[in-house]
Amino acid sequence: MSDGVKLRVRQASKIYPTASGDLLAIDRCDLDVRAGEIVSIVGPSGSGKTTLLWTMSGLHSLSSGEVQLDGKPITAPSRDIGMVFQDANLLPWRNVQANIAFPFEIMGQQPDKAWIAQLMHRVGLEGFENRMPRELSGGMQQRVALVRALSFKPSVLLMDEPFGALDAFTREEMNHLVEEIYLDTRTTILLITHSIEEAIFLADRVIVMSARPGRIASEHLVPFARPRSMEIMSTKEVFDLTNIIKKEIVGDQKSMAGRPRSTARAAG
């Protein structure tokens, strides 16, 4: 940790056996995420973004290579890592409070009530403790998921296309919220997204992945001070950067169109 690297990915490859043969989802990826940094990963479907994130969470193993947290290899899920999934992934039979208590139940610990109350206040969920997930809007559900992921104070937050299902306005709101929480906690955040705008707005660095096999294609710095406002999105720098990334992704998809798809199921 002396070099300030929180997450380190070295020569990470993952092969999924499928009915139509082996699928190389990610191929020799290298990535460093420094402590207190926000990094977003964009790329076309099938670029292995989700696979990369899941191996970092310890949910999946790598076929070769290594992922490290604070210099130690990640082989199993750990409480240093909080995960926010695609669609809120709440348990529909539990109310908001019980959903947030879920990680503590699994870990066999008492929930940190004061910290959770602070988070609930921060995301505007006060008074919703006893609501059932189905009574909440998509944005509210994702807020609950955010509180749940941060409730046990992980030092890393992995977000897997968290706001993809939300409308544009709610998404913008959630992006501001994530930055606010980041400025409060300085949690290291790795975000996977389909939205180039979201990737640029939130991140210090945007990583572009290419598809089949998933490789790290390029890296772009986003040199704007925080807190950021949506106004930076209309600056020339962001406009140019968006276009560059868009071209990389579209170009990659075009070159892919000629290739046979090894499987119908895209690995995120």
Partner 1 sequence: MESTDAIPQFSKSDAGSGGVGVANMSALAAGPGIQSVRDVAIIVIVAVIVVGGLELLLNLFSVPQYVMPKPSEIAYALVTDFWFILPHLGHTLVELSSGFTIGALVGLILAAVITQFPFAEKIIAPYILMLVTTPMLALVPLLILRFGFGYTPRIIAVALAAGPMVMINAATGFRRVDSGKIALARSYGASTLQIFWKIRAPMALPMIFVGLMVGSIFGLLTAVGAEMVGGGFGLGNRLTSYSSMIQMPQFFAVVLILSILGILIYVLFFLLGKKFASWET
Binding site for partner 1 (CB under 8 A): 16, 18, 23, 25, 50-51, 54, 57-61, 76-79, 81, 83, 85-87, 89, 91-93, 102-103, 105-107, 132, 134, 265-268
Inter-residue contact 163 to 171 (CB < 8 Å): yes
Residue 262 burial (10 A CB sphere; 0-12, 13-18, 19+): middle
Closest contact distance (angstroms) between CB of 215 and partner 1 is 18
Write down the least CB distance from residue 76 to partner 1, Å.
7
CB 197 within 8 A of CB 233: yes
C-beta closer to partner 1: residue 149 or 200: 149
Distance, in Å, from the CA atom of 9 to the CA atom of 55, rounded to the nearest integer, reads 10
Residue whose CB is less far from partner 1, 54 or 201:
54
CA 23 vs CA 18, 20, 47, 227: distances in Å = 7, 8, 12, 41
Contacts (Cβ under 8 Å, ≥6 apart) of 185 = 150, 153
To the nearest whole angstrom, how small is the minimum distance from the Cβ of residue 116 to partner 1?
15
Compute the least distance from the CB of residue 124 to partner 1, in Å.
23
| Shortest separation between residue 78's beta carbon and partner 1, angstroms | 8
> 20-44 in b/e burial notation, b at 16+ Cβ within 10 A?
eeebbbbbbbebbbebebbbbbbbb
Cβ closer to partner 1: 141 or 241? 141
Q: What is the closest distance, in whole angstroms, from the C-beta atom of residue 109 to partner 1 in the complex?
A: 10
Indicate the residue among 40 and 99 with the shorter CB distance to partner 1: 99
Least CB distance to partner 1 at residue 267 (A) = 5
Between CA 115 and CA 121 the distance in angstroms is: 10
Closer CB to partner 1, residue 162 or residue 179? Answer: 162
Bridge-partner residues for 220, per DSSP? Answer: 206
Q: How far is CA 115 from the centre of its chain?
A: 22
* DSSP reduced 3-state for 30: strand
Of residues 153 and 226, the one with the C-beta less far from partner 1 = 153
Which residues are bridge partners to 219 per DSSP?
Answer: 207
Q: Which is nearer to partner 1, 43 or 268 (CB)?
A: 268
Report DSSP state, residue 194: S
Phi, psi of 18 (to 5 degrees): -125, 175
